Structure 1
């Protein structure tokens, strides 16, 4: 297991933008995070604007010149968006095609038709895992929760027994699988290999989703007994379609980018020769940009044409998919700007210097930092990006495998105990018709189970890899 080392302080090659001591930097971090929390929760300011103000507060309290603090923020924002923006956009297009074509409904209906009351929780976590691969968590909730409510109401099943596994599958994909913005940005910040991170992420995600989904749902169903609110069961979105794509071709399309990136990771491991033609070909084929672009182009035919989409409707679907992600891109970018301000102020260096005498693994430290930011800001994406920037120097002397595990440790920490400052908390509360206390006992604890199970799996993998 990799531990902390003073020699890892390779970041901030140009030096910090402030000469503040550890105490002042610590206060600055708390002030910046407190400003973000207050603006989001108390004043209902958009997370993008809150992160900008929080970054400026951080720089000011740390004693950094205003122009340098602004430069740090804008530089971090630009670097984050340039590294992940195109991938987020392609993922949004793929998710929109999956939803509008009826492909998501086809996956759901096919699996549910073969499941009974005992196997439904397992079916729901599988559905959420497959559907959640290419789409954002919020989109996944919109797609799956109506189905969860319908199944629970018509079959007389416990809403928690059906709903918690679906939420667990979506959340695990969001935090641990690098088709999503947070893990992608963390990979970029840490310098990890995407294919290796994806492969290890799947290994961590499977047992984590099982524990937080089918297993934990047994307890959640005992603690909270609510009935599906009728007002939250909308009509199916694909009722205007004459036909929809088949189950097999839909699953194959969704998994195509994953297979392409995993193939690259496998070739990298087996060949490990940058001059080899095979490896060079797979370096291109398995790159995230090419993999997602290929999946989108294929989906236009396998999903769009199969659903009877004309060229005009396909173009409209693609166009509509890009508008809603503007806010996501801005928040992700602002999270990167806040992260860069933290790094440039010397916070990353301070953390390493303060903790160099601790007998704690770098992976556990990364998880704890992500947990702290998650609890403070409520955003898993902001927690992932900020924590990854802070612990990025730890990856300097790590192997490829351990650098990937560092990303997964951060991702696991970013999911810890969602509460009232998280938009997802309120979405789940409203969709399931629960009060705040019931949401804390189900959704919030489920997120905590995911986080703890995730870091345990990561630490166990670090012992054998």
Structure 2
């Protein structure tokens, strides 16, 4: 209500909502404040550093020209028929370490240039790129939403990452290149000239190589997956090898290593000196202040829900429903997403509500619970979502055209990923 009706910032809305929730639940206000601040603190402690490191890596990728290098290399090898599939590949790779909004800002100029240069339908190229970014944002850590949900339900990060990638691949194919055929027929618009960037030739003079850039982006994901594999194969917390990989594959260390490696693989080849590094980090961190506060307040809201007994109440009510826990998690995330417009707020709040359901779950089912929440959090983006307006403005669409393309694509991602989560739960 506060976010949609009164246009209040999500941070303030979650803070006021948490206090109101505690008051309505009959909890003493001093206890509610303690719950909220404890939840905010633990969430920022667990996730905040990862968000900051991800933002720095994203900024390094953008400013060094590394992202351009990846895009140009793949485009040089793509044929007109394979172009939508190429765009989905680029977006998925670039979307691994980047926030959705950063990914859009980085990729849309490329999408527009490709559409203009190759005379392609804007939707045929744009929808696969948006699908790649959105699926990564909702389902694959180290993105803020999945990380917070993993923290809330106490799921295993490596297992969630592996299952997230497994579900992301078919989801992104259906919502990207396959849906793009229909989206291009429904909305046939040219790339708006005002948005196509004019890249200066000197930008292309010095930039990192394709292999080095790709390796830097994929490094944290590889380290996290290696940790998950060692945990499964060795399965002995006292084993030296497992303890070593538990450190190396910790998301904080994995991202920190990637940032340090990026200084040598991305910034040095692009001619960055020591003096520019500090400024780059500062610029990279500035835009995420709002995200950190929203995620933190979401954690506070989650803790208030748990401490005031709302989580247990939902658990008691849902015991009488013949709805699987994974479907319930998906539906709660869908409801919050439609109301607030924020995938991150939907993920954080839903994770807090369904956290008690994870208590008796196996490792794989706890990971699937996180993915069910992530899938639900992407359902039908509309006018209360910042991403909706970003896409509308960049592509030069009206509201109706944005709903027919972007909003439908988000719904397809949510439903397909949700269905795949339920199918997987029957198998594993």
Decide: shared fold, TM above 0.5.
Answer: yes
Note if 1:257 corresponds to 2:224: no
In the TM superposition, 1:392-431 aligns within 5 A as 392-431=355-394
In the aligned structure 2, how far is the partner of 1:301 from the partner of 1:238?
23
In the TM superposition, 1:259-338 aligns within 5 A as 259-338=222-301
In the aligned structure 1, how far is the partner of 2:158 from the partner of 2:199?
36
Aligned to 1:9: none
Structure 1 unaligned runs (5+)? 1-33
In the aligned structure 2, how far is the partner of 1:310 from the partner of 1:240?
16
In the TM superposition, 1:2-41 aligns within 5 A as 34-40=1-7
Distance 1:270 1:245, change over 3 A: same
1:36 and 1:54 in contact (8 A); partners too: no
Note if 1:354 corresponds to 2:321: no
The one-character-per-residue Cα deviations of 1:195-247 (angstroms, maximum 9, x if unpaired) are 11111110011111111100111111111111211112223389535311111
1:200 and 1:404 in contact (8 A); partners too: yes
Structure 2 unaligned runs (5+)? none
Q: Which runs of 4+ in 1 moved over 6 A?
A: none
In the aligned structure 1, how far is the partner of 2:280 from the partner of 2:313?
47
Give how far 1:319 is off: 2.0
The one-character-per-residue Cα deviations of 1:344-372 (angstroms, maximum 9, x if unpaired) are 22221111111102122111111111111
In the aligned structure 2, how far is the partner of 1:55 from the partner of 1:238?
52
In the aligned structure 1, how far is the partner of 2:311 from the partner of 2:200?
47
Aligned to 1:449: 412
1:220 and 1:441 in contact (8 A); partners too: yes
Aligned to 2:62: 99
Aligned to 2:335: 372
Note if 1:180 corresponds to 2:143: yes
In the aligned structure 1, how far is the partner of 2:180 from the partner of 2:204?
34
Give how far 1:124 is off: 0.4
In the TM superposition, 1:149-164 aligns within 5 A as 149-164=112-127
Distance 1:61 1:218, change over 3 A: same
Note if 1:76 corresponds to 2:76: no
Aligned to 1:440: 403
Note if 1:210 corresponds to 2:177: no
Aligned to 1:28: none
SS across alignment from 2:337? helix
For 1:245, which of 187, 208, 218 is the aligned residue?
208
The one-character-per-residue Cα deviations of 1:262-292 (angstroms, maximum 9, x if unpaired) are 0000011111011111111111111111101
For 1:227, which of 190, 195, 203 is the aligned residue?
190
Give how far 1:428 is off: 0.5
Note if 1:85 corresponds to 2:48: yes
2:65 and 2:203 in contact (8 A); partners too: no
The one-character-per-residue Cα deviations of 1:115-165 (angstroms, maximum 9, x if unpaired) are 122111100010000001101000000000011111111211111100000
Aligned residues: 428
TM-score, reference length from structure 2: 0.97
Comparing 122-131 with 334-343, greater Cα deviation is found at: 334-343
1:73 and 1:340 in contact (8 A); partners too: yes
Comparing 70-79 with 88-97, greater Cα deviation is found at: 70-79
In the aligned structure 2, how far is the partner of 1:420 from the partner of 1:342?
27
In the TM superposition, 1:124-203 aligns within 5 A as 124-203=87-166
SS across alignment from 2:5? helix
TM-score, reference length from structure 1: 0.90
